[in-house]
Structure formats: C-alpha cells, structure tokens
Amino acid sequence: MQRAVSVVAHLGFRLQALPPALCRPLSCAQDVLRRTPLYDFHLAHGGKMVAFAGWSLPVQYRDSHTDSHLHTRQHCSLFDVSHMLQTKIFGSDRVKLMESLVVGDIAELRPNQGTLSLFTNEAGGILDDLIVTNTSEGHLYVVSNAGCWEKDLALMQDKVRELQNQGRDVGLEVLDNALLALQGPTAAQVLQASVADDLKKLPFMTSAVMEVFGVSGCRVTRCGYTGEDGVEISVPAAGAVHLATALLKNPEVKLAGLAARDSLRLEAGLCLYGNDIDEHTTPVEGSLSWTLGKRRRAAMDFPGAKVILPQLKGKVQRRRVGLMCEGAPMRAHSPILNMEGTKIGTVTSGCPSPSLKKNVAMGYVPCEYSRPGTMLLVEVRRKQQMAVVSKMPFVPTNYYTLK
C-alpha cells in the first residue's frame, strides 16, 4: 500500500518512496494541504509534519526513527492513516461492481472477512492495491491509497454509473472517518481493555463494528502494514482525538510516523504503490499471484486476465525480489548488476533494517536471477557492492490467526 514517504534530509535519515513533488517539507505547500482530524494532536505531541500525497502528516515524533521502529516490533505504536481513501459500496450488485475492477474473489468472502486485492487495467498493469471487506451490514468497505485517491474514486464512480445505466442496484459513498492503525505485538492487549468484543475471535483480515473507548460506530479490522499483529480502526472523525488520546495513556503505546511505517513495511516485504508496483507491473511480475482468485482465474473475467494468466504458466521477463547487503544502504533507483557487471535491474525500495542491522531492499531482476541465494551486485553512490537475493519477508510476520 502507498503509506510511506521520502524523508527530508534534516531528519537524519533518508527513506525513498514517492517523488519529491508528492512529498516535501511543509513550507512548500502548507496552505493547500489537507489535514486529518488529528493534525493539531500531532503538533501537540511533537510531530514533524511533511507533505505527502496532498496531506500534512507526521513523518516522526520526538523519538528517533529507529527507536520508533523497534518500539513497534517490541510493543505497539499508533499511526494516523486517515489520508487513505475509505469507501462504501452498497446495493445488491456491489460484488459485481467490485469484481469488474479487481482480480480477487470478492463473492467468496465470508461476512466481515477482507482481502488484499488489486485494481488492474486491460494490459495487466496494477492501478492500485486495496483492501476489500464484505461487511455484515450489507456493503463492501474499501480502503485504498491516498496517492491514488482521484484515480481510484473515478474508476469506481465510472463503473457505478455504467452499472446504474444498465439498471443495476449499486452505489458508492466516500467515508469521512479517520483511520488509526495500532500495530505491534501488544496491540490487541491494549485495545481489549477498551472494547466489549473478544478480540481473540477477530483473526487477521476480519473486522467488526464496536464501541472503542466510548466511541460508537468504530470498525476495527485486524490488519496493518507492518507485518505485526494489529488493527486499523475506522472511527467517526469527531471521536478520533478522544480515541488517540485514550490509547496513548497506555505506556505500551507510542506515536509513530510515516518513516517508521516505511521501514516496517519493507522488512515485512510489503509493496509500496508507485515504487514497487505500478501500472507497468503485472501481479505475476510483482510476486502477487496469490491475489488472483481461483474462480476468477478459471473465468478469466478480471481486467487484464488475457495478459496476466498466461504469465502464470510461462515465464515473465522479470520478478520482484528481496535483496540484502552490507555496506551502504541500497536506495530506490540503484542499479542491480550481475556478477559480470552488466545492469539487469533496478532497486525499487531500500533502507537500513533497524531489526536486522543489515540493509534490505526490493527490486526487479530477470527470472534467471530471482532464486534466493543468488549473488548480485548493486551500485550505490557509483560504487559496486555485493548483494544477495533473499526471501521475503525479511523479518517474520506475526499476524494473528485462529489455531
């Protein structure tokens, strides 16, 4: 998902993500940025604000990026992800609408079950990644990337109008809720004290509407973008500050910003839209074939199926792989070379791993170089250094599943 940020140099670290035009110091565009309901809350707690995808968001707080990252791995952290596009798709033809746009099997989702899926185009390229939940309230709850807000909304609205013109029963509503992510091994323990529902019955990628710290109408989804156990809480905007304040009273919880979120997702092997996947990347190239629903594969009825499905059986020219190296950190756009020094690919995301004390990255290489253990070269600051193709996630994930 597109939830990370290039960090301004004066913060003392440099995490590559979106182009500078989309992410820059606040002084460049302060009067035109959108603000989440927690904007003043962030300032009061020492948030260093940057511009990201048209929003003013905290890149970090008073703690260092490394401390914030490791706290999330060991305890839990609270992230404001209210910039994400949240939509509600309703009507008896809501599944038909969504399946006309994504590769996943939405019809098979049980009540309150969700899945990661992909918007694709007819050329097989990925337009965005998103989470779709089949709620027990009779609608689909969709969360997609802030950087693709206009594109995603137009895509869904155009399809709504097309189906409505055919007499279909479908509609779309943009939600103005805030979205808070509580992530880390103690997240469920912290949240349990504030809800009546038994969170042990809420496994990974399921959700439920509940009252949280006295705020009613909150949708709690067991998911996240860090590789840790955790939840994302869609909360009415008026209750966002109250909820964040209440969570922060627990000593287990610290605030974390976009910088830690980026390094956490990279350690977990999760894609950043616009860097690791885009309209010129197919799900097979992006190592995301698992998002293709079995029934959808058989029916060949999703956008780009005629391009994507043959790639499952044949070879693709390139694949997304993980990379590890010593020395200088690999960054987005760093050239990847074979051992003979010929350029064969490019790094798409990279940073030092606070958990592993090594440098980790993702990038694309030809299939013959994609096997884990393959030795390659990466050019960093005009110097070549050794790198090894590595399995992802780099750090084991800790999603909560029912045994």
Residue 376 and residue 369 in contact, taking contact as beta carbons nearer than 8 Å: yes
What pTM was computed for the model?
0.93
**Is residue 346 predicted with pLDDT exceeding 80?**
yes
Cα-based angle 308, 312, 318 (whole degrees, multiple of 5): 80
Which residues contact residue 14 at a Cβ distance below 8 angstroms, ignoring those fewer than 6 apart?
6, 7, 331
Separation of first and last alpha carbons in the chain? 28
Confidence band of 31 (pLDDT split at 50, 70, 90): low
Identify the burial level of 173 via C-beta atoms within 10 angstroms of its C-beta, where 0-12 means exposed, 13-18 middle and 19 or more buried: exposed
Q: For 85-174, give the CATH class.
A: alpha beta
Confidence band of 2 (pLDDT split at 50, 70, 90): low
Q: Which residue has the tokens 């206009």?
A: 150
Confidence band of 27 (pLDDT split at 50, 70, 90): very low
- Which is nearest to 180 in space by CA: 51, 323, 37, 289? 37
Bond into 111 cis (ω within 30): no
Task: List residues bridging with 80 in a β-sheet.
Answer: 180
**Is residue 8 predicted with pLDDT exceeding 50?**
no
pLDDT for residue 15: 38
Cα-Cα-Cα-Cα dihedral sign, residues 268, 274, 275, 277 = positive
| Strand extents, DSSP E, 81-155 | 85-90, 113-120, 126-134, 139-144
The mean pLDDT of the chain is 93
Identify the burial level of 190 via C-beta atoms within 10 angstroms of its C-beta, where 0-12 means exposed, 13-18 middle and 19 or more buried: buried
Which residues contact residue 21 at a Cβ distance below 8 angstroms, ignoring those fewer than 6 apart?
none
Confidence band of 402 (pLDDT split at 50, 70, 90): confident
Which residues contact residue 139 at a Cβ distance below 8 angstroms, ignoring those fewer than 6 apart?
88, 89, 90, 94
Three-state DSSP class for 297?
helix
Three-state DSSP class for 374?
coil
**Is residue 187 predicted with pLDDT exceeding 80?**
yes
Gap between the Cα atoms of 172 and 116, Å rounded? 19
Q: For 34-82+177-267, give the CATH class.
A: alpha beta
Gap between the Cα atoms of 382 and 375, Å rounded? 19
Residue 93 and residue 160 in contact, taking contact as beta carbons nearer than 8 Å: no
Which numeric CATH code is attached to 315-395? 2.40.30.110
Gap between the Cα atoms of 344 and 346, Å rounded? 7
Q: Give percent of the chain with pLDDT exceeding 90.
A: 90
Q: Give percent of the chain with pLDDT exceeding 70.
A: 92
What would the pLDDT profile of 279-312 be if each residue is shown by its tens digit?
A: 999 999 999 999 999 999 999 999 999 999 999 9
CA 239 to chain centre: 24
Mean pLDDT throughout 93-115?
98
Domain range annotation of the chain: 34-82+177-267, 85-174, 315-395
Task: List residues bridging with 62 in a β-sheet.
Answer: none
pLDDT for residue 326: 87
Helix axes 258-267, 65-74, angle to 10 degrees: 60
Mean pLDDT throughout 176-205?
98
Q: How does strand 230-235 pair with strand 253-255? A: unpaired
Residue 232 assigned as binding residue: yes
Residue 48 and residue 61 in contact, taking contact as beta carbons nearer than 8 Å: yes
What would the pLDDT profile of 247-270 be if each residue is shown by its tens digit?
A: 999 999 999 999 999 999 999 999
Quote the tokens at residue 358: 């090594």
Write out the H or E segment, with its range, that includes residue 77: strand 76-80
